[in-house]
């Protein structure tokens, strides 16, 4: 049978590769971005409650209204922005599905989509599957800042979407207010949609505030913003998130969503609707994760691994150039097989070959896991 692949160059994700290598060598896995601790017991009790009560049938296509109302309330508490839960929020089967749906809804054959690299690895194939053309804008270590003048020069009459990600995976950097104002001015009066990946919105540190596109009324009219309950509530395996956008964009988003997954698992939606009502269930997250970031950094302070503290996410980038000349994938394999700690190389997040020597470590781990991992990493020498 002759099958023509839509993604002929697609390979197994680096996360699967490094996780399998970690399991094979019994290495401590600081590679793939998931916690090694469980979610809150109260949340699990709520899920069990609604499961036992038989909330097992289809929810409405846009998501349970009670959950959308709780999300709207959370958005107001976080950003003092009013969002219409009926028309401007859609519950999705995780953030990656929301991103795929947004790209599928708005990108046509030949449309250009600007992404910032290193970029989360689902963007590029999603654009290709929609018939679009990815246009990478490269960010450079160590600060990975966006050059807005350079972005302005990239825009053509074929540019239909710009994808931003803040706090940013894999670099751990975050956009500031002026960045969003720059973006708002660049896309003003243009037929360009901004797809804003904000799954780490509550994971921002050093008393800084997350700058969501929702806070910029003019920009918001051209945006779909994407969020993840899995990242927020330490439950990545549940695959549930949501998208927020003005009704004129959300209508088209839902037009694709309904033919994709239609609706998301029911009993977890009921549970989250209740759980979100208590803002303490997410307001503690910056301090919770900053303590883990600071532990990782303090334990490696005198090692030859060098870094700038992550301003958000639960990822920390380290420069290993004082240790080895190996390419980052080879160095990550060396760490896994010889040092006993799995890391993620940064090069797979680019569509071009790069020579920077950086790896990403995930600190969404128990303190004991981080201490054991850093004990191994301190064996590295110049």
| 299 token code pair | 């334990």
The CATH number given to 41-277 is 3.40.640.10
Q: How confident is the model at residue 4 (pLDDT cuts 50, 70, 90)?
A: confident
Q: Identify the three-state secondary structure at position 161.
A: strand
66: which strand partners?
none
Q: How far apart are CA 210 and CA 311, in angstroms?
A: 10
Q: What is the pLDDT of residue 188?
A: 96
In the chain, CATH 3.90.1150.10 covers 14-33+283-377
Is residue 10 predicted with pLDDT exceeding 80? no
CA 329 from chain center: how many Å?
21
Q: What is the pLDDT of residue 221?
A: 98
Place of tokens 């940013």: 168
Q: What is the pLDDT of residue 215?
A: 97
Q: What is the pLDDT of residue 5?
A: 86
Average pLDDT over residues 41-70: 95
23: which strand partners?
none
CATH architecture of 14-33+283-377: Alpha-Beta Complex (3.90)
Where are any strands of DSSP class E within 63-153?
A: 89-92, 112-117, 133-138
Q: What is the pLDDT of residue 355?
A: 86
- Give the model confidence (pLDDT) of 216-253 as tens digits: 999 999 999 999 999 999 999 999 999 999 999 999 99
Is residue 381 predicted with pLDDT exceeding 90? no
Q: What is the pLDDT of residue 32?
A: 84
Average pLDDT over residues 183-206: 97
- Give the model confidence (pLDDT) of 57-89 as tens digits: 999 999 999 999 999 999 999 999 999 999 999
Q: Mean pLDDT, the chain, as a whole number?
A: 95
Q: What is the pLDDT of residue 33?
A: 86
Average pLDDT over residues 14-21: 88
In the chain, CATH 3.40.640.10 covers 41-277
Rounded alpha-carbon distances, angstroms, from residue 142 to 22, 208, 318, 346: 27, 20, 9, 12
Q: How confident is the model at residue 345 (pLDDT cuts 50, 70, 90)?
A: very high
Q: How confident is the model at residue 16 (pLDDT cuts 50, 70, 90)?
A: confident
Q: How far apart are CA 257 and CA 253, in angstroms?
A: 6
More confident residue, 201 or 352: 201
């Amino acid at each position: 049978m002759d099958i023509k692949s839509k993604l002929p160059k697609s390979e197994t994700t680096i996360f699967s590769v490094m996780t399998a290598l970690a399991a094979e060598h019994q290495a401590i896995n600081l590679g793939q971005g998931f916690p090694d601790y469980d979610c809150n017991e109260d949340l699990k009790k709520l899920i069990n409650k609604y499961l036992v009560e038989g909330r097992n049938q289809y929810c409405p296509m846009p998501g349970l209204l009670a959950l959308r109302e709780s999300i709207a309330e959370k958005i107001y508490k976080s950003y003092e922005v009013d969002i219409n839960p009926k028309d401007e929020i859609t519950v999705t089967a995780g953030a990656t599905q929301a991103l795929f749906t947004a790209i599928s809804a708005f990108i046509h054959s030949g449309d250009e989509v600007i992404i910032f690299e290193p970029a989360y690895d689902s963007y590029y194939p999603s654009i290709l599957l929609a018939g679009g053309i990815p246009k990478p804008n490269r960010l450079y270590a160590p600060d990975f800042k966006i050059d807005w003048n350079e972005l302005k020069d990239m825009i053509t009459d074929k540019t239909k979407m710009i994808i931003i990600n803040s706090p940013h995976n894999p670099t751990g950097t975050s956009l500031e207010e002026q960045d969003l104002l720059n973006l708002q001015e660049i896309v003003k009066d243009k037929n360009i949609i901004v797809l804003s990946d904000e799954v780490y919105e509550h994971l921002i540190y050093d008393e800084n505030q997350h700058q969501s596109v929702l806070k910029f009324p003019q920009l918001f009219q051209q945006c779909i913003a994407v969020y993840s309950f899995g990242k927020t509530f330490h439950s990545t395996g549940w695959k549930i998130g949501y998208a927020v956008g003005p009704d004129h964009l959300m209508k088209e988003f839902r037009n694709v969503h309904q033919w994709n997954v239609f609706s998301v698992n029911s009993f977890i939606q009921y549970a989250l609707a209740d759980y979100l009502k208590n803002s303490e269930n997410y307001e503690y997250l910056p301090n919770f994760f900053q303590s883990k970031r600071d532990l990782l950094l303090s334990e490696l302070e005198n090692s030859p691994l060098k870094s700038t503290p992550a301003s958000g996410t639960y990822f920390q980038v380290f420069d290993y150039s004082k240790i080895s000349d190996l390419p980052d994938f080879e160095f990550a394999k060396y760490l896994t097989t010889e040092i006993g700690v799995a890391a993620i190389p940064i090069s797979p997040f680019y569509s071009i070959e790069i020579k920077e020597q950086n790896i990403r470590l995930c600190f969404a781990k128990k303190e004991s896991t981080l201490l054991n991992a850093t004990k191994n990493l301190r064996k590295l020498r110049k």
